[in-house]
Structure 1
Amino acid sequence: MDIVHTIEGWPAKSDLVRILDEVEGTGGGAANVMLSLAAFRTGLPLWAIGLVGMDRHAATVRRAVEAAGADGAQLAETDRAPTAHTHVMNVTGDSRTFFYHPGTNDLLDEGDIAVEAVAEAGARLFYLGYLNLLGRLDVVAGGSSGAARVLARARAAGMVTVADLVSTDRAGFADAVEAALPHLDVLFLNEGEAARATGLAVAGPDDLEAITAAAGRLREGGAGAVVVHTPALGLWLDARGAVVVRPDPVAAADVVSPVGAGDAFAAGCIYGLHEGWGPEECLRLGHRAAAWSLRGATATGAIPPLSVLLHSSPGTP
């Protein structure tokens, strides 16, 4: 769950600022991507896999899954921890900061993720979100990790494997990514995560040379394709080494909240992958989904159907 607080400004230590608005919604990569795909209203079948607690946040998550028309049979529950949730501090026109309670996400284990069952039910693509935010799955030993083994199982079951990263400075960030790379068909990440995962310096969201170099380093590590999204551009490095770049900035005045914009971008690209589109078309839809997401307070509340996304102008929704 995300509890998004729009605040009047970031406080100095020990100071008080007012919360101007507060809204709750499901959050995190898996939920945001699934609900973005549902918002496209294409009838694409969806499966929710994860672990929640036995609290009001869990009830909200289950209602969201049901409302999306997704299969929630693989959404397990436990009384050992609360449902993972994040307090998001959003400054309008600026950025957001996350205060994260891992809860059940830290307990999620390989045995909780029934990739074979969803593959047998017809799933063609498996998305894991986020690497470096899943406790037990991120532990690397002997060059492998729980996340890497889950991705390997998904690929063996015949699914395209996709993962996204989270912006955190946890120890072992690069090791967790390195372990997963050989089992990934597509990796999504932003410019900061690209720097953390590779150790290469990236000056900012428009540092195309460094972003391309970091994407190349990750592809050399085993990923089939690497897709980097920034506020300034989207870059797709495919399995053959070909690079496609779309410079698609969004005006700051159009941004209500950046929460979930990267996940909306990923959802647009994932839909294109599912439909067999090329990188240019995937990036175009990803940008438009992200641009619409930026206009809402929650991660997916402002995303319109695919018919609207396909006919909105490139610079704005």
Structure 2
Amino acid sequence: MSAGQRRGFLTGGTWCADHNKLLDRWPVEETVTRILEESVEGGGSACNFGIDIRRLDPSMPVATIGCVGDDEDGRILLRYADDNGIDRQGMRVIAGGRTNYTDAYSARDTGKRTHIFHQGTSALLSPDHFDFAGTTARIFHLGLPGIHDVMDNAWKGEVNGWVATLKAARAAGLETNFELLQIAPERLRELAEPCLPHLDTLVINDYEIGAITGTQTTRDGETDIAACEAAGRQIMERSAVKVLAIHFPRAAIAFTRDGAVYRHPSVNVPQSEVRGANGAGDAFAAGFMYGYHEARPVPDCLKLAHASAAASLRSVGTTGSVETAERCLALAEGWGWRAMPNT
């Protein structure tokens, strides 16, 4: 099948059950804080991205590949896929397995989030689970390196399973996108750097671009935009990535293969609307990649990415408040845009 005949997304990698807890504040050790509300919802890059794409455009085909256990969390995730119209024929249910789960805490007073996870069946995911023979999707979205034991290690002559899987996807005619995780920077660079030659697009945050380039891109909790731009140029110079997007709370930057650099500020979300930031990065990536899939200009992709992320902030869970692309953009326009920060 030619690239022009392909449509839709195939997600692969992390499916986990998010045990979301909204706290009044983040506690210091040996003190008590109160849980204001809690829920169990779908989480992980393959889950969140896929659901967000379907919410942005309910007509867009999305299929997925991953591993869950035959426990209650696994059943919740399968229902999430079904309820959101995701083709889950590629999902593997591991008998006797414990589904990957995350205790996802959001502090109401700051909006910051803290994740404590159990790897579970994600440890068993391998390149052998990825069968691309029958897919008609155009874009393959893969993640997350650092929390999948088999994928994180050498595989049949390749430096890791991520490289093996990305190469197989490209050989099958798919465009590839990679999602990262904020693990130790040295480990993130070790896992992600070998994947760069096998990517068409890359959508990451300020921490992640710093980690994979060995650059300090955040200082005292603030984004060093000039350092992010320099790191982005490094990636474009030493890879074949067609489009690179770097996002951070106040704005985002995108680079294209022709040397162009685009910048767009984030949405000025009223603090009263913010319930939690869990899943905002996935929502940004989904908005950007949906725009890319639909051949929208890169500045419009950045705008939709910010709008999708802004909409997602209205729920404690990862995907509950993402709406159609048109509604997300209308919401963003209503709230307005921040001023673009100086580099």
Q: TM-score range by the shorter chain?
A: over 0.9
Q: Give the whole-Å Cα distance in 2 for the aligned partners of 1:108 and 1:80.
A: 15
**Maintained 8 Å contact 1:231/1:250:** no
2:111 corresponds to which letter in structure 1? D
**Maintained 8 Å contact 1:132/1:170:** no
Greater shift, 66-75 or 236-245, is seen at 236-245
Deviation at 1:171, TM superposition (A): 5.2
Q: SS at 1:137's partner residue?
A: coil
Deviation at 1:12, TM superposition (A): 2.1
Identity of aligned residues (%): 30
Q: Give the whole-Å Cα distance in 1 for the aligned partners of 2:102 and 2:285.
A: 20
> Structure 1 residues 14, 311: closer, same or farther in 2, change over 3 A?
closer
> Structure 1 residues 11, 313: closer, same or farther in 2, change over 3 A?
closer
> Structure 1 residues 19, 312: closer, same or farther in 2, change over 3 A?
closer
Partner deviation per Cα, 1:105-140 (whole Å, 9 max, x = no partner): 11100001122332xxx1111000223332221225
Q: Give the whole-Å Cα distance in 2 for the aligned partners of 1:269 and 1:211.
A: 18
Q: Give the whole-Å Cα distance in 2 for the aligned partners of 1:193 and 1:168.
A: 9
Corresponding residue of 2:305: 286
2:45 corresponds to which letter in structure 1? G
Given candidates 92, 107, 115, the residue that maps to 1:76 is 92
Deviation at 1:244, TM superposition (A): 0.7
Residue 124 in 1 paired to residue 141 in 2?
no
Q: Give the whole-Å Cα distance in 2 for the aligned partners of 1:313 and 1:272.
A: 16
1:49 corresponds to which letter in structure 2? I
> Structure 1 residues 87, 170: closer, same or farther in 2, change over 3 A?
farther
Residue 111 in 1 paired to residue 128 in 2?
yes
1:239 corresponds to which letter in structure 2? R
Corresponding residue of 2:242: 224
**Maintained 8 Å contact 1:250/1:315:** no
**RMSD between aligned residues:** 1.9
Q: Which runs of 5+ in 2 are unaligned?
A: 1-16, 337-343
**Maintained 8 Å contact 2:180/2:204:** yes
2:115 corresponds to which letter in structure 1? F
Q: Give the whole-Å Cα distance in 2 for the aligned partners of 1:26 and 1:140.
A: 29
Q: Give the whole-Å Cα distance in 1 for the aligned partners of 2:160 and 2:242.
A: 19
Corresponding residue of 2:58: 42
**Maintained 8 Å contact 2:283/2:309:** yes
**Maintained 8 Å contact 1:248/1:315:** no
Deviation at 1:173, TM superposition (A): 1.5
**Maintained 8 Å contact 2:217/2:223:** no
Q: Give the whole-Å Cα distance in 1 for the aligned partners of 2:107 and 2:41.
A: 18
Partner deviation per Cα, 1:13-64 (whole Å, 9 max, x = no partner): 2222111111111001110010011112431011011011110011011111
1:160 corresponds to which letter in structure 2? E
Deviation at 1:143, TM superposition (A): 6.7
**Maintained 8 Å contact 1:206/1:233:** no
Corresponding residue of 2:266: 248
Corresponding residue of 1:94: 111
Partner deviation per Cα, 1:139-184 (whole Å, 9 max, x = no partner): 2577732111111111111111001111111752201111110000
Q: Which runs of 5+ in 1 are unaligned?
A: none
Q: Give the whole-Å Cα distance in 1 for the aligned partners of 2:18 and 2:184.
A: 20
> Structure 1 residues 250, 107: closer, same or farther in 2, change over 3 A?
farther
Residue 134 in 1 paired to residue 148 in 2?
yes
Aligned residue runs from structure 1 range 1-317, under 5 A: 1-79=17-95, 81-92=97-108, 93-118=110-135, 122-140=136-154, 144-169=159-184, 172-204=187-219, 205-222=222-239, 223-251=241-269, 253=271, 254-314=273-333, 316=335
Q: Give the whole-Å Cα distance in 1 for the aligned partners of 2:332 and 2:44.
A: 28
Q: SS at 1:136's partner residue?
A: coil
Q: Give the whole-Å Cα distance in 2 for the aligned partners of 1:206 and 1:195.
A: 10
Give TM-score, length-normalised by structure 2: 0.86
Q: SS at 1:32's partner residue?
A: helix
Q: How many residues align?
A: 314
Give TM-score, length-normalised by structure 1: 0.93
Q: SS at 1:117's partner residue?
A: coil
